[in-house]
Structure 1
Amino acid sequence: MKLMRLGDRHAAKTPCIVDDDGALRDVSGIVDDFTPETISADLFVRLRATDLSSLPVVDAGGRRIAPPVAQPRNIWCVGLNYSDHAAEAGMEIPSEPILFNKSSATYCGPNDPILYSAKMTKLDWEVELGIVIGTAALDVDRERAMDHVAGLVLVNDLSERAWQLERGGQWVKGKSYPNFCPTGPVLVTPDAIGNFDDLDMLLDVNGQRMQTGSTAKMIFDVPTIVSYMSEFCQLLPGDLICTGTPPGVGAGMKPQVWLQPGDKVRLSIDGLGEQNQTVVHAADAKS
């Protein structure tokens, strides 16, 4: 199934499920919202047992698409997880996943603006497959890892490379500015997406193709990432894991290319929908 939420940032959201015809059905009579507390296996059982044709159709015209799950407690990331991106960066393929995190305050809707600070000089893009945890996971084996996954999402893991690499080498600095994690538009349960080990990915800037890739190039796949991370920390319901990006980031180009105010970014992953963002000065953005 595909889950979506509509509503302004500081307003109540309308939780929806996408039916077989692509229509949005209001499920607020079943669950108040899709949150870390409600995206349980029990909820999915109830939704699957519901006759979707009996639910109201939602007119999404002009409404903001919110992230498909409410604010996560944690946003985790995996670095250099695509063999072709590691080659682009001139770095060796890691023997174990490279883990870091970004502030949960980066979380935003798929089409919300990318915020640009006057102190930025190297703003970069990264189309990524995101994992949303559905059940707490601690020290789980790979064979049972998917039991803890609620679904998969499209993510733009934005980065300010100068802050990331030239300000003491602390990646979280370059990953944690507000709106640096557009997520959605939909959360898709693993059974509904099919073979998520071979999904096409793309990202355009101002209509020019920058990234073309496939999840088939992931060094560590989804169940491996969940199992590995759970060895070191407890993954909580609603947690988002960004799993790495294919080649074509601005930092890997010759000459390098960086986002500027006014630039438009479009990205997609097969089965997970599309995002469209515009880079705007942070001072000009609505809160």
Structure 2
Amino acid sequence: MKLASYKSGRDGRLMIVAKDLKTCCDATGIAPTLQAALDDWKNIAPSLEEQYQLLCEGSHSDAAPFDTSQCAAPLPRSYHWADGSAYVTHVELVRKARGAELPASFWEDPLVYMGASDAFIGPEDPVEVESEEWGIDFEAEVVVVTDDVPAGVTPAQAAGHIKLLGLVNDVSLRNLIPAELAKQFGFYQSKPWTAFTPVLVTPDELGDAWDGARLHLPLRTTYNGDLVGAPNAGQDMTFDFPTLIAHCAKSRSLMSGAVIGSGTVSNVGSKDGSCCLAEIRCLETIKDGKPSTPFMSFGDRIRIEMLDAQDSSIFGAIDQIIVRYEPSAV
């Protein structure tokens, strides 16, 4: 099934969306928000599925056109957002561009940071940034959403806690990152709000493309109308999602609605293009000694989407414009 949230208050209004993303129906009679549904997923999911089947069959009495302009993030805010760097080939490339070796441990132990989850933004909301000098970049990623995950789970156990999947634009402010990492205390100012696709989907919607651990489809990133990358999200993923979840739950439980990100999707050699400008710039640096592609400017547009084998959009598209943020005088 496919689930979305229309904008309403801070936690949105839960909507069920048809497989073709053309129609939807209000689900608040079953659960007011997606977080509420996840909190009691075992009991609530069957009722949502029943309405979803009616919607897909074209027999739902309250079906209405699905309007992505009304969409908040499917989870407008979450209790937990942990983003990994599961494609170690990407990390290796970044370090190579600056002449640094990759520690052997990076291939054995996942890199994960805890991001801002007090607010996510919708698929068509603008990316507001105060200054272009901060080095604005997009990062196209796959994410999973869990139910309650007990501390100490194994990867095999963690796989059963994946309830939904989607895509995100994990915006990065690249020129703020070096000073933050130099403090050896992680990202903060360099990671503004994250944007989500219009819908999250249950694993069964993905068919053979989902093997229970990785999503084996190209992730398409279009920048100012040009396709800059379509690497396969299932290839070269050093740490799969169950491994990332188990890593995050090593010493504490994860509450329902926890969002776990893959990090920037990247294939070895970037033969299918890149999912962020930083990687493109690294390739230019390795080849020419310096980057030639600038970071994003106000007015630039980024689109992130994944298509199935029939070239139909699975999650809908993130389609955003970069705009200048004006700090309030208050």
Q: Same fold (TM over 0.5)?
A: yes
Q: Is this contact kept in 2: 1:26–1:55, CA < 8 A?
A: no
Of 275, 278, 281, the match for 1:251: 278
Change (3 A) 1:57 1:115: same
- SS of the residue corresponding to residue 129 of structure 1 reads strand
How big is the shift at 1:38?
2.4
Equivalence for 1:27: 27
- SS of the residue corresponding to residue 77 of structure 1 reads strand
- SS of the residue corresponding to residue 250 of structure 2 reads helix
Count of residues in Structure 1 that have an aligned counterpart in Structure 2: 280
How big is the shift at 1:184?
2.2
Change (3 A) 1:30 1:141: same
- SS of the residue corresponding to residue 232 of structure 1 reads coil
Of 215, 218, 221, the match for 1:200: 218
Supply the AA of the counterpart residue of 2:261.
C
How big is the shift at 1:159?
0.6
* C-alpha distance in structure 2 between counterparts of 1:238 and 1:12, whole Å: 12
Of 76, 84, 90, the match for 2:82: 76
Alignment of 1:81-160 (within 5 A): 81-89=86-94, 90=96, 92=102, 94-118=107-131, 120-160=133-173
Alignment of 1:253-268 (within 5 A): 253=281, 254=284, 255=291, 256-268=293-305
Q: Tell me which protein shows more helix as a share of its residues.
A: 2
Equivalence for 1:221: 240
2:13 matched to 1:14? yes
Q: Is this contact kept in 2: 1:103–1:175, CA < 8 A?
A: no
* Higher Cα Rg, which structure: 2
Deviations 1:221-252 (A, max 9, x none): 11111122211332111111111112422223
Equivalence for 1:278: 321
Supply the AA of the counterpart residue of 2:316.
G
Q: Which consecutive unaligned segments of at least 5 residues does structure 1 have? A: none
Of 58, 67, 70, the match for 2:73: 67
Change (3 A) 1:149 1:55: farther
Which 10-residue stretch deviates more, 90-99 or 268-277? 90-99
- SS of the residue corresponding to residue 100 of structure 1 reads strand
Deviations 1:33-79 (A, max 9, x none): 211x3211221122224462345113344742111124101211102
* C-alpha distance in structure 2 between counterparts of 1:155 and 1:97, whole Å: 19
Of 164, 173, 176, the match for 2:188: 173
Which 10-residue stretch deviates more, 210-219 or 58-67? 58-67
Q: Which consecutive unaligned segments of at least 5 residues does structure 2 have? A: 267-273, 285-290, 308-313
How big is the shift at 1:141?
1.5
Change (3 A) 1:61 1:273: closer
* C-alpha distance in structure 2 between counterparts of 1:86 and 1:237, whole Å: 30
Q: Is this contact kept in 1: 2:83–2:112, CA < 8 A?
A: yes
Change (3 A) 1:74 1:261: same
- SS of the residue corresponding to residue 43 of structure 1 reads helix
Supply the AA of the counterpart residue of 1:259.
M
Q: Is this contact kept in 2: 1:4–1:68, CA < 8 A?
A: yes
Change (3 A) 1:106 1:62: closer
Equivalence for 2:310: none
Change (3 A) 1:162 1:232: farther
- SS of the residue corresponding to residue 187 of structure 2 reads helix
Change (3 A) 1:147 1:61: closer
- SS of the residue corresponding to residue 128 of structure 1 reads strand
* C-alpha distance in structure 1 between counterparts of 2:317 and 2:205, whole Å: 17
Q: Tell me which protein shows more strand as a share of its residues.
A: 1
Give the CA RMSD over aligned residues.
2.4
Identity %: 23
Q: Is this contact kept in 1: 2:88–2:107, CA < 8 A?
A: no
TM-score in terms of structure 2 length = 0.77
